[in-house]
Amino acid sequence: MTRPRPGDDDETDFGFTRVPLQDKQARVDAVFHKVASRYDLMNDLMSAGMHRVWKDLFTAQIRPPRNAPYHHLDVAGGTGDIAFRIAQAGSPRTEVTVLDINGDMLEVGRERAQKRGLAERLTFVEANAEDLPFPDRTFDSYTIAFGIRNVPRIPRALSEAFRVLKRGGRFLCLEFSHVDVPGFDRLYESYSFKAIPLIGQAVTGDADSYRYLVESIRKFPDADLFADMIAEAGFSRVSFTRLSGGIVAIHSGWKL
């Protein structure tokens, strides 16, 4: 992915297709409406369960205190995978807000929270990552896992993350990246474009949504460029760690 060209401000990427900027969110919503009920199952199948390891490593970097209030925001976290881990790592004084623009994904998260006995610890909010409905300096930490690449205006979402964090707050993003292991990159490319849509068709009856998701990974900035974008939003001590040969990366920044 490259930075927008002059004159491109009214268009953006939807996978490999250029679409009007105002249309992307509706298209992304349609994708997740279709896959919400099988989203977590598909994550297991597509990653051979590795997404659970990545999420464990990701959330281990959030360490809620055991004896003080702590407020965490998980954006694009509809089904609750990240929020559950953070709530369980904290004390009863740890409050987690799950925000997602897609109501179907949030409904899955609410049902899962009830089954886990975590419903009272979590708040589910339907809203846009680009326009967070919270006052400045509300949260101690912010996470977004496998969601930032679907946001039409990524710089705006990063700016909003910076705004709602308290001073000393931490931003963490888990996102697909670019494989940097010779040989493995071609194997991963072939698997992504050939196998994942077929799995999506078999499990959800929808190959097109998973074809878009694969394309969106390829269009997302590499780890170095995305780190630059995080720094441009105002964050300090920006860093990233590649996992599994570069399939994913954990990005970190601090509001200092």
Task: Give the model's confidence band at 134: pLDDT under 50 very low, under 70 low, under 90 confident, else very high.
Answer: very high
Q: What is the pLDDT of residues 157-197, one digit of tens each?
A: 999 999 999 999 999 999 999 888 888 888 888 888 888 88
Local structure of residue 5 (DSSP, 8 states): P
CB atoms inside a 10 Å sphere around CB 183: 8
Give the pair of three-digit tokens for residue 196: 């994942």
Query: Kind and range of the H or E element at 122?
Result: strand 122-126
CA distance 22 to 123: 28
Instruction: Give the number of C-alpha atoms closer than 13 A to the C-alpha of residue 239, restricted to the C-beta side.
Output: 5
199 vs 12: which has the higher pLDDT: 199
| Owner of token pair 């990233």 | 240
Q: What is the pLDDT of residues 194-228, one digit of tens each?
A: 888 888 788 777 788 788 888 888 888 999 999 99
Instruction: Give the rounded distance of the alpha carbon of 124 from its chain centre.
Output: 16
Cβ–Cβ < 8 Å for 110, 167: no
Residues in the chain: 256
Cβ–Cβ < 8 Å for 26, 38: no
Cβ–Cβ < 8 Å for 149, 12: no
Interacting residues of 96 by C-beta distance below 8 A, sequence separation 6+: 72, 73, 74, 83, 86, 87, 90, 121, 122, 123
Q: What residues pair up with 123 in beta bridges, in sequence order? A: 97
**pLDDT value of residue 8:** 44
Q: What is the pLDDT of residues 99-125, one digit of tens each?
A: 999 998 899 999 999 999 998 899 999
Cβ–Cβ < 8 Å for 249, 221: no
**pLDDT value of residue 213:** 81
CA distance 208 to 206: 6
250 vs 183: which has the higher pLDDT: 250
Task: Give the model's confidence band at 34: pLDDT under 50 very low, under 70 low, under 90 confident, else very high.
Answer: low
**pLDDT value of residue 19:** 66
Q: What's the whole-model pTM score?
A: 0.86
Cβ–Cβ < 8 Å for 178, 222: yes
Query: SS in 3 state form for 200-241?
Result: HHHHHCCHHHHHHHHHHHHHCCCHHHHHHHHHHCCCEEEEEE
Show the domains of the chain with their CATH numbers. Answer: 23-182+207-254 (3.40.50.150)
**pLDDT value of residue 59:** 97
Q: What is the pLDDT of residues 53-68, one digit of tens each?
A: 999 999 999 999 988 9
Task: Give the model's confidence band at 2: pLDDT under 50 very low, under 70 low, under 90 confident, else very high.
Answer: very low
**pLDDT value of residue 233:** 98
Q: Is 100 left (phi over 0), alpha (psi -120 to 50) or beta?
A: beta
**pLDDT value of residue 38:** 66
CB atoms inside a 10 Å sphere around CB 59: 23
Instruction: Look over the chain and give the mean of its residue pLDDT values, rounded to a whole number.
Output: 87
Task: Give the model's confidence band at 33: pLDDT under 50 very low, under 70 low, under 90 confident, else very high.
Answer: low
